Amino acid sequence: MELKQGGFTDPEKILEKLDIAKPGMTIADFGCGAGYFSIPLASMTRPGGEVSAIDIRDAALQLVKSHARSEGLFNINVIKGDLETEGGSELNEESQDVVVISNTLFQVKDKRTMLREAKNVLKKAGKLLIIGWLPASPIGPPSGLRVARVDARRLAEEGGFTFNEELSVDEFHYGLLFTK
Write out pLDDT tens, residues 58-91.
Answer: 999 999 999 999 999 999 999 999 999 999 999 9
pLDDT digits (tens, 9 = 90+) for 32-60: 999 999 999 999 987 899 999 999 999 99
| pLDDT at res. 147 | 97
- Structural domains in the chain? 11-179 (3.40.50.150)
| pLDDT at res. 8 | 59
Band (pLDDT 50/70/90 cuts) for residue 131 is very high
Band (pLDDT 50/70/90 cuts) for residue 28 is very high
Q: CA-CA distance, 120 to 150, in Å (whole number)?
A: 23
What is the average pLDDT across 99-103? Answer: 96
Band (pLDDT 50/70/90 cuts) for residue 134 is very high
Residue 103 reports pLDDT greater than 60: yes
Instruction: Go through 62-83 and write b for each residue having 16 or more CB atoms within 10 A of its CB, e for each that does not.
Output: ebbeebbeeeebebbbbbebbb
What is the average pLDDT across 136-152? Answer: 94
- Percentage above 70 pLDDT, the chain: 95
| pLDDT at res. 3 | 42
Band (pLDDT 50/70/90 cuts) for residue 138 is very high
Three-class secondary structure assignment of 128-153: EEEEEECCCCCCCCCCCCCCCHHHHH
Residue 177 reports pLDDT greater than 60: yes
Band (pLDDT 50/70/90 cuts) for residue 17 is confident
* Cα-Cα end-to-end distance for the chain: 34
Q: Could you tell me the sign of the dihedral formed by the alpha carbons of 28, 49, 93, 62, in that order?
A: positive
Mean pLDDT of the chain: 92
pTM beyond 0.85, yes or no: yes
